[in-house]
Amino acid sequence: MAPAVVEFKLLGTSGCHLCDLAEDLLASLLAEGQPWQIELIDIADDESLLARYATSIPVLLGDSGADPLCWPFSREQVLQWAAMGPGR
């Protein structure tokens, strides 16, 4: 049985080179077969996200109740953070 797909949000914005690095890191993990779906959210389109995360992006959010994972993060930190969710 295939693992359930886990949904995360990557908060960032256009022109953010750190956000590009985070996207590349997540893409490499997806290519390795992580059962994730990553939704890219531009914080410039949401006043509340912009106010909260403007100086922290890129930020990973999940529905697991885990704290947001703010940059800088490594491959290992993403895997550990992702494993903290229910049923994982």
The domain segmentation of the chain, as residue ranges, is 17-82
Is residue 88 predicted with pLDDT exceeding 50?
A: no
Residue in the structure block whose two tokens are 């800088």? 72
Kindly state the percentage of the chain with pLDDT values over 70: 91
* CATH (residue range 17-82): 3.40.30.10
3 closest CA partner among 26, 33, 38, 41: 33
Query: pTM (2 decimals)?
Result: 0.89
**Residue 15 identity:** G
The mean pLDDT value for 50-65 works out to: 91
Residue 20's SS3 state is helix
Q: Which of 22-26, 50-54, 82-86 has the lowest mean pLDDT?
A: 82-86
